[in-house]
Structure 1
Amino acid sequence: MATQSESRPQCSVVVPAFQGKHLIRACIVAVLKATEGYNSEILVVESSGDGTSELLAALYPAVIVLTSPLQLSAGQARNLGIQQARGEFLFCVDLDCVVPPDLISCPNLPVGIPTVHGGMPVNL
């Protein structure tokens, strides 16, 4: 995980979270595994006040939690996270998804070309 004082992260992962306290752990564990060995940052945008922020702070202190006092749609939360993301590459993952461990090292990701990639969620 990159800290604010470190250089620009290679990748940022944005996770919108609304009432995700009971689902987000599996997502974060998978994202941590997928970003292992990379200078990365994980940003979770939480707007429900259900304790997700506190849970993440206790279990995953390197995860950046952005909270909103207003309820945000998934799109609004993604946009807020994207605005704060500093990585060269950007990944958006929904809180009920478990990404594959090779997500970032996938050889089919073109370099230098702006692209959007989707994924298939694993239902929790």
Structure 2
Amino acid sequence: MKALVSIITPLYNSELFISETITSVLNQTYSHWELLLIDDGSTDATCTIVNNFVAKYPNIFLLINDTNRGAGHSRNRGIQVAKGDFIAFLDADDLWKPEKLDKQVSFLNTQDTDICFSSYELINEASQPLNTKVEALPILNYAKLLKSNYIGNLTGMYNAKTLGKVYMPLLRKRQDWVLWLNALERSGKPALSINDALAYYRLRKASISASKWRLIKYNYWVYKKGLGYSIPASILKMIVFLYEHFLVKSKQNKTI
């Protein structure tokens, strides 16, 4: 029997994009998956839209948080109930290409790694291409990932059979970065990538990445709260992060 992939999608007021996101999962050439959508107190039509899919497809599930708890809590709730051999993540406004799961499951079944990720392309709020590809590093170890988050969460997948379930810290933002660091540490093997762009990341005007101050603040909390570094060590790590993010990682963006 094919390996089951559990897909974790947190929701919060996602009515504008969630139908397209779910459809990109339904269009996967790899069919043995479950989609776990966790709503975090939406006040729009998100749950109504999702329930229409739940009624039609037995492998799509909606979980509803009693109060707004943040994306980390929602993702952890999905991970907790996941039944899959592999666990993958897809945010409510991002999209997957049809071959995404097929290529990654085959890759994890044949390569000596517990974690794989891929390149991805950028789209705007209207789902139009921005002609930019973010190229994945071929090999990623813990020390390199600690400098900056090189795994696009919408492309990441880990082997829950070998690693067990890896959870996220309850940070409001950037909790996925800590998850991948913890997964790498637990694995002891580098993460390997597929150079093909297997997903579309949606750039939104109100996104966290639009604010340099928020970038500094939330990434500082990764080191201080997420990883438990002291204040001086966290500041030092942030200096390294800023260099890596703006002068090294930015070179991953290629015009297509």
Offset, 1:88: 0.9
Kindly provide the CA deviation profile for residues 12-51 of structure 1, in whole angstroms up to 9, marking residues without a partner as x: 11111111122101100001112x4522110100012333
Give the match for residue 115 of structure 1.
115
- What is the TM-score of this pair, normalised by structure 2? 0.41
Relative to structure 2, which stretch is displaced further, 84-93 or 36-45? 36-45
How high is the sequence identity, in percent, across the aligned residues?
A: 21
- What is the TM-score of this pair, normalised by structure 1? 0.79
Give the match for residue 74 of structure 1.
71
RCO (CA 8 Å, sep 6+): is it higher in 1 or 2?
1
Would the aligned equivalents of 1:8 and 1:87 in 2 still touch at CA under 8 Å?
no
Kindly provide the CA deviation profile for residues 46-97 of structure 1, in whole angstroms up to 9, marking residues without a partner as x: 0123332222112442220000011121222111111111011111001110
Query: Would you say how many aligned residue pairs link Structure 1 and Structure 2?
Result: 117
Offset, 1:8: 9.2
Aligned partner of 2:31 among 35, 38, 41: 38
Would the aligned equivalents of 1:96 and 1:123 in 2 still touch at CA under 8 Å?
no
Aligned partner of 2:8 among 14, 17, 39: 14
Relative to structure 2, which stretch is displaced further, 97-106 or 70-79? 70-79
Aligned partner of 1:90 among 82, 87, 90: 87
Give ranges in structure 1 of 5+ residues lacking alignment: 1-6
Calculate the aligned-residue CA RMSD, in Å: 2.5
Give ranges in structure 2 of 5+ residues lacking alignment: 118-151, 156-199, 205-256
Give the match for residue 102 of structure 1.
99
Give the match for residue 3 of structure 1.
none
Would the aligned equivalents of 1:45 and 1:68 in 2 still touch at CA under 8 Å?
yes
Structure with the greater alpha carbon radius of gyration: 2
Give the match for residue 17 of structure 2.
23
Q: Where is the strand percentage greater, Structure 1 or Structure 2?
A: 2
Cα distance in 2 between the residues matched to 1:103 and 1:19: 26
Would the aligned equivalents of 2:11 and 2:42 in 1 still touch at CA under 8 Å?
no
4+ aligned runs moved over 4 Å, structure 1 = none
Give the match for residue 55 of structure 1.
49
